[in-house]
Amino acid sequence: MPKFDFRSPRLFVDAPLAAGAGLALDRDQSNYLGNVLRLAAGDAVLLFNGRDGEWQATLAGRKRPDRAEVGAQVRAQDQLPDVHYVFAPLKHARLDYMAQKAVEMGACALVPVTTRFTQASRLNVERLRANVIEAAEQCGILSLAAVHEPLPLERWLAGRDGSRLLVFCDEEAPEASPVAALAAENGANGIDVLIGPEGGFADEERAGLLKQPCFVRLSLGPRILRADTAAVAALALVQAVLGDGNTR
CA distance 17 to 51: 9
In this prediction, residue 153 carries a pLDDT of: 96
Mean pLDDT of 189-202: 92
Question: Hey, is 148 helix, strand or coil?
Answer: coil
Q: What is the pTM for the complete model shown? A: 0.91
Boundaries of every domain in the chain: 10-75, 83-241
Average pLDDT, the chain: 92
Question: In the structure, what pLDDT confidence band is assigned to residue 2 with cuts at 50, 70 and 90?
Answer: very low
Beta carbons within 8 Å of 67's beta carbon, 6+ residues apart: 22, 23, 24, 25, 59, 60, 61
Q: Is 83-241 in the same CATH topology as 10-75?
A: no
Whether the pLDDT of residue 1 is over 70: the answer is no
Cβ contact 88:197 at 8 Å: yes
Mean pLDDT of 138-144: 94
Per-residue pLDDT tens for 93-129? Answer: 889 999 999 999 999 999 999 999 998 778 899 999 9
Angle between helix 125-139 and 92-104 (nearest 10): 40
Per-residue pLDDT tens for 69-93? Answer: 999 999 999 999 999 999 999 887 8
Mean pLDDT of 212-226: 89
In this prediction, residue 172 carries a pLDDT of: 81
The secondary structure of the chain in percent helix, strand, coil, rounded to multiples of 5, reads 30, 25, 50
In this prediction, residue 147 carries a pLDDT of: 97
CA distance 71 to 97: 34
Question: In the structure, what pLDDT confidence band is assigned to residue 22 with cuts at 50, 70 and 90?
Answer: very high
Question: In the structure, what pLDDT confidence band is assigned to residue 224 with cuts at 50, 70 and 90?
Answer: confident
Percentage, residues of the chain above pLDDT 70 = 98
Whether the pLDDT of residue 248 is over 70: the answer is no
Sign of the four-CA dihedral 12, 139, 156, 199: negative
For domain 10-75, is the CATH number 1.10.3720.10?
A: no
CATH code matching the domain that covers 83-241, chosen among 3.40.50.300, 3.30.230.10, 3.40.1280.10, 3.40.50.1980: 3.40.1280.10
Mean pLDDT of 209-225: 90
In this structure, which long-range contacts are made by residues 134-137, counting pairs with CB atoms below 8 Å and at least 24 apart in sequence?
A: 134/100, 135/99, 135/100, 135/101, 135/103, 135/104, 136/12, 136/48, 136/50, 136/103, 137/10, 137/11, 137/12
